[in-house]
Amino acid sequence: MEIEFDPAKDAANIAKHGISLARATDFELIDFERLSRKGETRIQAIGTIGGEYYSLTFVFRRNVVRAISLRRAHSEEAERMSKKNRGFQEGQAAFEDDVVFDEDNPEWTAERLARAHPASELPPEILAAFPKTKIRGPQKAPTKVPVSLRLSSDVVDHFKAGGPGWQTRIDDALKLAIKKAG
């Protein structure tokens, strides 16, 4: 499914936010909230394009996603999302905060992010318009228990040096130690 937009709205979006609505096809949707604006229900979503946070407002009607506004997230919005997603975008590139908010694409406050729904709650016909969005299915049975643990910096540095999945490698090392201990 394609994402459509009004060419005049696209020109206005480029002038205001410095990005074309055509880039909505590269949007990886993370969370969303329904908004009521100008007599219609809109969806404002926060997600990523090329590893940086963006905010997209769109409508879904007659089986078509129509982009209304796309803008880069303000640094405070990006920080809030990083905290919400436990470091998902840790180390996002720094940028100037020249982000323009408007009634079509309002700021993602901490309160709004707390109310936001995960992308997985959107109907499949909307998700089909965002092929880069990764939806993780429900966990069949909890296999791990969340804990807070203090480790020495050399241990953390050693495992992080191996790249993503360092927590799993620590878990594997601990399982091996248990097995060896008998």
Give the pLDDT of the chain (182 residues) as one tens digit per residue: 679 999 999 999 999 999 999 999 999 999 999 998 878 899 999 999 988 999 999 999 888 999 999 999 988 888 888 776 654 444 444 444 566 777 888 888 888 888 999 998 999 899 888 888 877 666 677 777 888 889 999 998 998 888 778 888 898 899 899 999 98
Give 57's contacts (C-beta < 8 A, 6+ positions apart): 35, 42, 43, 44, 45, 67, 68, 69, 70, 104, 105
Tokens coding 46: 């926060």
Query: What pLDDT does 1 receive?
Result: 66
Instruction: Tell me how far apart the alpha carbons of residues 74 and 171 are, in angstroms, rounded to a whole number.
Output: 36
Query: What pLDDT does 97 receive?
Result: 54
Query: What pLDDT does 11 receive?
Result: 97
Contact between 43 and 59 under an 8 Å Cβ cutoff? The reply is yes
Q: Which position has the token pair 């009004």?
A: 6
Query: What pLDDT does 16 receive?
Result: 92
Contact between 169 and 159 under an 8 Å Cβ cutoff? The reply is yes
Query: What pLDDT does 168 receive?
Result: 85
Query: What pLDDT does 26 receive?
Result: 93
